[in-house]
């Protein structure tokens, strides 16, 4: 895991964020849905002479107590009409109005708990003393006899739901009305809108609880991830420091080897770059390419045991001197024997002078018996030797080197690897490496 990977890109956190967005979106949608329903007006028509097929959501009951009927001396019949609102839903009913049909010749003496308006078709026998009352001023001559009741101002005049949980009393209004004959109100029309509060529904509470739970989980995951990222960052810094120490140690050790022969300064580093490029062109993995670099960098470690006068001798070596030169492969194997973290390191040190046809040293391995890494280093090592000035000869021209590789392909060198080296010479990759003297472009962790 990399500290550069933002915490919100992790799958589990992404899933929580997505779920949180969906739940919040669902909650917002439900609130908008409730708001839309709350602004939709509904109408209920009632006929006291008919039995409804099912209990209506809202009904208005008109009744007159037995002791609230009377007859005036002029023959008019008076009565107190109590109006009771029965709300069978779970929602408050607001902005309501009720229209009732009344007989011709009626007049209203007083009213309460609603805003009344009166419409009549004939001359009304209302007493003169009532002319200045507000109820009288709300009477209008029209083509039908009816009374309109409307919600009067404040919210407490809304119609509450009558559920077992609410313990509310039905909303009541009323009026005293005079008519030419005893009257019962039969027909009415109720219009208004129900207030759909989101909190009235279980789904709203479920969404809120789910949002809270997911949000808490998300916060916990983020805290955990930030803590992990902090630890990862610490270990990455520590790993880089450790890898820098390893890189510098390898390079320093390689410099010790190359320092024994002034003609081969930078030889191990160049061989390492050539070997890594060969591994890359052979489609080896990134890790294998880096490991190939280290293997090649340490291939000549055994030369530390060879005396300087033999390494720097410009004339032909004696058999004994040549044997001592050859011994650097076994000495290198022994020196790296305890480096178990990279077992192939000692194998390359021991086998990089083996020839593909078995004529090399030290064990006269041939073909696939020679480790692939050792065959790669053999080609890289040979190229750099031919491409460098030595105490006993000048460097060869590139055409001469190509000719040597073509000539020794299949005998001294693995044919496939020799072909890759020829390509590297022709496309001038080797020219970019010849003067290199840095490990800054090496990613030890790759």
Q: Are strands 115-120 and 187-195 parallel, antiparallel or unpaired?
A: unpaired
Cross-strand bridge partners of residue 191: 43, 97
Distance, CA of 227 to CA of 230 (rounded, Å): 5
**Which contiguous run of DSSP H or E holds residue 213?**
helix 202-259
Of 422, 401, 419, nearest to 410 by C-alpha is 419
Query: Given this model, what pLDDT does residue 307 score?
Result: 74
Distance, CA of 139 to CA of 331 (rounded, Å): 123
Cα-Cα-Cα-Cα torsion 392, 396, 400, 404, nearest 10 degrees, comes to 50
Distance, CA of 175 to CA of 135 (rounded, Å): 10
Query: Given this model, what pLDDT does residue 166 score?
Result: 58
Query: Given this model, what pLDDT does residue 392 score?
Result: 63
Q: What is the pTM of this model?
A: 0.52
DSSP secondary-structure letter at 68?
G
Q: Are strands 171-179 and 58-63 parallel, antiparallel or unpaired?
A: unpaired
Query: Given this model, what pLDDT does residue 242 score?
Result: 66
Cβ(214)–Cβ(23) below 8 Å: yes
Cβ(46)–Cβ(265) below 8 Å: no
Distance, CA of 70 to CA of 77 (rounded, Å): 6
Of 232, 240, 235, nearest to 7 by C-alpha is 232
Query: Given this model, what pLDDT does residue 357 score?
Result: 94
Which residue's entry shows tokens 């779920």?
A: 19
The three state secondary structure string of 115-161 is: EEEEEECCCCCCCHHHCCCHHHHCEEECCCCEEEEECCCCHHHCECC
> What's the half-sphere exposure (Cβ side, CA atoms, 13 Å) at 55?
4
Cβ(349)–Cβ(302) below 8 Å: yes
Say what angle helices 328-335 and 344-351 make with each other, to 10 degrees. Answer: 170
Query: Given this model, what pLDDT does residue 2 score?
Result: 43
| Cα-Cα-Cα-Cα dihedral sign, residues 157, 162, 165, 168 | positive
**Which CATH architecture describes the domain 260-433?**
Orthogonal Bundle (1.10)
Q: What average pLDDT values come out for the chain (446 residues) when binned by 10 residues?
A: 52 88 94 95 89 86 90 89 92 94 88 89 72 73 89 80 72 91 92 93 92 92 85 78 70 68 73 94 92 89 76 73 82 85 89 93 92 95 85 82 93 95 92 66 43
For 63, phi and psi rounded to 5 degrees?
A: -145, 160
* The pair of three-digit structure tokens given for residue 145, joined into one six-digit string: 């006899």
Distance, CA of 137 to CA of 115 (rounded, Å): 12
* CATH of region 50-185, choose from 3.20.20.150, 2.60.40.290, 3.30.420.140, 3.40.30.10: 2.60.40.290
Is 120 buried (19+), middle (13-18) or exposed (0-12) by CB count in 10 A?
buried
């Amino acid at each position: 895991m990399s500290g550069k990977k933002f915490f919100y890109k992790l799958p589990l956190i992404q899933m929580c964020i997505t779920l949180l967005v969906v739940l919040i979106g669902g909650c917002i949608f439900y609130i908008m849905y409730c708001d839309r329903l709350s602004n939709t007006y509904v109408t209920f028509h009632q006929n006291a002479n008919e039995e409804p097929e099912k209990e209506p959501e809202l009904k208005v009951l008109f009744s007159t107590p037995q002791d609230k009927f009377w007859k005036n001396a002029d023959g008019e019949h008076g009565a107190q009409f109590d109006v009771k609102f029965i709300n069978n839903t779970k929602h408050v009913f607001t902005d309501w109005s009720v229209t009732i049909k009344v007989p011709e010749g009626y007049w209203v003496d007083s009213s309460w708990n609603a805003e009344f308006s009166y419409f009549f078709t004939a001359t009304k026998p209302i007493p003169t003393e009532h002319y200045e009352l507000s109820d009288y001023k709300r009477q209008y001559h029209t083509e039908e006899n009816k009374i309109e009741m409307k919600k009067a101002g404040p919210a407490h005049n809304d119609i509450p739901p009558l559920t077992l949980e609410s313990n509310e009393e039905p909303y009541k209004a009323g009026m005293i009305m005079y008519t030419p004959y005893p009257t019962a109100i039969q027909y009415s029309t109720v219009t208004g809108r129900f207030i759909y509060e989101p909190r009235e529904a279980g789904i709203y509470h479920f969404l809120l609880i789910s949002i809270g739970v997911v949000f808490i989980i998300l916060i916990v995951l983020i805290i955990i991830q930030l803590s992990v990222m902090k630890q990862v960052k610490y270990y990455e810094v520590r790993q880089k420091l450790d890898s820098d120490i390893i890189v510098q140690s390898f390079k320093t050790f390689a410099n010790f080897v190359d320092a024994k022969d002034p003609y081969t300064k930078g030889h191990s580093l160049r061989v390492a770059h050539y070997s890594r490029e060969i591994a890359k062109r052979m489609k080896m993995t990134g890790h294998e390419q880096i490991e190939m670099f280290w293997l090649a960098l340490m291939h000549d470690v055994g030369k530390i045991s060879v005396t300087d006068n033999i390494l720097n001798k410009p004339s032909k070596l004696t058999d004994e001197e040549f044997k001592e030169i050859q011994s650097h492969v076994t000495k290198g194997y022994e020196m790296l024997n305890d480096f178990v973290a990279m077992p192939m390191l000692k194998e390359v040190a021991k086998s990089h002078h083996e020839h593909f046809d078995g004529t090399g040293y030290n064990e006269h391995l041939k073909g696939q018996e020679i480790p692939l890494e050792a065959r790669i280093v053999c080609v890289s090592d040979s190229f750099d030797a031919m491409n460098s000035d030595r105490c006993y000869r000048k460097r060869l021209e590139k055409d001469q080197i190509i000719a040597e590789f073509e000539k020794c392909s299949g005998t001294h060198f693995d044919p496939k690897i020799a072909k890759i080296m020829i390509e590297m010479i022709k496309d001038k990759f080797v020219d970019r490496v010849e003067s290199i003297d840095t490990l800054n472009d090496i990613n030890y962790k790759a």
